[in-house]
Every structure is written in C-alpha cells, then in structure tokens.
Amino acid sequence: MNNKEKLRKAGLRPTKQRMIIADILLDGINRHFTAENLQNEINSSGNSMSIATIYNCLKKFRNCGLIKQVESSKDTAIFDTNINQHHHFLDEETGELIDIENDEVNLRKLPKIPQGYLNNGVEVLIKIKKQI
Amino acid sequence: MNNKEKLRKAGLRPTKQRMIIADILLDGINRHFTAENLQNEINSSGNSMSIATIYNCLKKFRNCGLIKQVESSKDTAIFDTNINQHHHFLDEETGELIDIENDEVNLRKLPKIPQGYLNNGVEVLIKIKKQI
DNA sequence: AAGTAGTTTAGAACGATTTTAAAGTAAATA
DNA sequence: TATTTACTTTAAAATCGTTCTAAACTACTT
C-alpha cells in the first residue's frame, strides 16, 4: 500500500504536506524523533513547512495510529515510527531511547485493570545510566 | 526521624521553605502532584512561596531521592512521594496515575542492558482507557 | 559578631506547543 | 466544469511550564 492509500485508509486527506511527512516517516524504518528533528529533515529534503503544520500532522498521525508518542518525561515530545507494542531503554541523562522488542520482555504477572477501564497497552521502561 | 533530620541527612539545609514543603510531602502518604498542585497546597496552608523556589526545591528533593519524578509524556512534570520501585496505570485521556505496587508485577524476562550501561530502574506503565 | 556559602525571590527570559484568523486546497455537489 | 463546502496550512501571536538572573536574604562556620 502506498502512502496516499495509507493516509486515506486512516481517514486523512492526503495533502501535499502530509505526503511529505508520510514519505519521511512511513518507510518501515523504526526511528525516534521530535517535531524539530522532523522539520530539519523536511528542510534538508528541499521542502519547508510551518512548525504548526508539523505539530498538527504529528498529532493526527498519532491519533490515527500511524505513529506513536513515547512516554517519557523529557521536555520535548518524542515520537516513534515503531507502532508495534514494544519497550525502551532510556538514558535519563541524554534522553536517548533504545528499542526493546516485545519478545525480549516477558511479563508473568500483571495487576487487575481498575473497574470500568480497559487495558490500552503496556510499556516497560528500563532506565539506564552510563557506567563510570 | 523528623523532617529536619531527613533534610539534613539528604544533605539539604532545612530552610523555612524546604520545611514547609517537607511537612506537606514527607508524611508517608503516597501522592502524585505537579509544581502547581503543591503551590496551591502551600497557599491554602496559609503560607506562600515563589514558584521558582518550588521548582528548585522539587528538583533538589528529587535528586536526593526524597521524591521521584514520574516518566509520562504529559506537558507538566508529575512528582511522586512513593520512592519505592513501583509502577503505574495511566489514563492517557485525563493524565490520572494510579500506583501499582511492585509485587503486583512479575517480570520474568528482561533484555540484556546495553554494553557500558547500568540498570537504573524498571518502570511498567499500563495505559488504560475508560470503558464506553 | 563577622564572614561566606547557599537560598529565596520577582520578574524576565526561554523553549515547546497551541491558537488565531486569514488564505489556500481537496473533495463534494450542482 | 463551476461552485460550494469543509478541511488544511500558515505566520505570527499567545500560552504554558520551567529556568535564569541578579539582588536581597539566611543558615551555618569561624
């Protein structure tokens, strides 16, 4: 399926701007990035785009499940093109994230989900620190 | 041990402002809060404090291990008085966090920590969604 | 009591993100 | 095809959480 079809299937109009972003993000390669990272990539591909559009687009892509947003207490939002359930190492000093594939973690026991709620995904974060 | 001693032991001078905050936070009750939440509590206890002082103090308390900062992609930093290793449910729509005690989760298998790094804590986040 | 090192403060500054409102574009309709 | 309508993009301003600045203050040491 090409990117135009992917956007249509997600319920998003394939505008010029969304196609530029889709061409960068939806190539099957897993990556972590910020809005600013993406703007730099767009610029160096010879295009340009308002930062507001980039934020709008990332929010739409995330809400449609085309990308994910990583849970991490950094001051900048970090997005992830790997939409499968998976986990991360986090170096808290640098903010660097490293993927952990789902089958590398085995959760034997999980608590009962609170009454009235549904499980919407489990994320394991292993905080790591550079050895001195 | 009283709060003055706790601060001293952590290497922090027990100033008037730090004592006010310690009296609110270090009562053994687990809670999640933001800097603004804390300022409101301080105000309603008849005291007042610059927001800069509150941020300074929370950062010092966190760095000394008196409180924790929760990993979550909310736009506001969330702190936690529960300093034991534990986990959370997160309602992504409201940002509400619910504690999961450590013994309610059993991690059977964890990946190898990357070369040159040390494990600095494992956090499990179970994202939940209100049933409709 | 005097010195000094650490702390608090208001307000300015900052950086990420969102809002605004006007102009532009894609899709639907006639 | 022309027209209409709803959605999208944009630059710039606004907002929000957080940090910085530098001057006044305070805890501890001598």
Q: Quick one: pLDDT at residue B103?
A: 96
Average pLDDT, chain A: 96
Angstrom distance, B35 CA to C5 C1': 27
Q: Quick one: pLDDT at residue A98?
A: 97
pLDDT at residue A73 is higher than 90: no
Q: Quick one: pLDDT at residue A123?
A: 96
Chain D bases under 7 Å from protein CB? 7-13, 16-21, 26-28
User: What value does the mean pLDDT take over residues A74-96?
Assistant: 95
User: What value does the mean pLDDT take over residues A94-117?
Assistant: 95
User: What value does the mean pLDDT take over residues A5-10?
Assistant: 96
> For each successive 10 residues of chain B (132 residues), what is the average pLDDT?
95 98 97 98 97 98 97 93 97 93 95 96 96 88
Residue A25's CB: how many other CB atoms inside 10 A? 21
Note whether B13 contacts A: Cβ–Cβ < 8 A.
no
Q: How confident is the model at residue A34 (pLDDT cuts 50, 70, 90)?
A: very high
What's the gap between Cα B29 and its chain centre?
12
A110: CB within 7 A of chain D nucleic strand: no
pLDDT at residue A1 is higher than 90: no
What's the gap between Cα B121 and its chain centre?
14
Q: Quick one: pLDDT at residue A13?
A: 97
- Give CA angle at B55 (B63, A73), nearest 5°: 65
Note whether A65 contacts B: Cβ–Cβ < 8 A.
no
Please tell me the distance from the alpha carbon of residue B53 to that of residue A63, in angstroms, as a whole number: 37
Length of chain A in residues, anyone?
Answer: 132
What type of residue is B127?
A: K
Please tell me the distance from the alpha carbon of residue B18 to that of residue B24, in angstroms, as a whole number: 10
Residues A10-24: pLDDT tens digits?
A: 999 999 999 999 999
Domains of chain B (ranges plus CATH)? 3-69 (1.10.10.10), 84-128 (no CATH)
Please tell me the distance from the alpha carbon of residue B69 to that of residue B104, in angstroms, as a whole number: 21
> Out of A123, A127, A129, whose CB is closest to B125?
A123
> Out of B98, B116, B128, whose CB is closest to A120?
B128
Angstrom distance, B68 CA to C11 C1': 29
Q: Quick one: pLDDT at residue A21?
A: 98
Angstrom distance, A54 CA to C17 C1': 11
Q: CA B68 → CA A121, B44, B119, distances in Å?
A: 23, 24, 17
Q: How many Cα atoms sit within 13 Å of B72 on the Cβ side?
A: 30
Across the interface, whether the CB atoms of B71 and A91 are under 8 A apart is answered no
pLDDT at residue A117 is higher than 90: yes
Residue A75's CB: how many other CB atoms inside 10 A? 7
Q: Name the DSSP letter for residue A102.
A: G
Q: Quick one: pLDDT at residue B1?
A: 87
Q: Quick one: pLDDT at residue A124?
A: 97
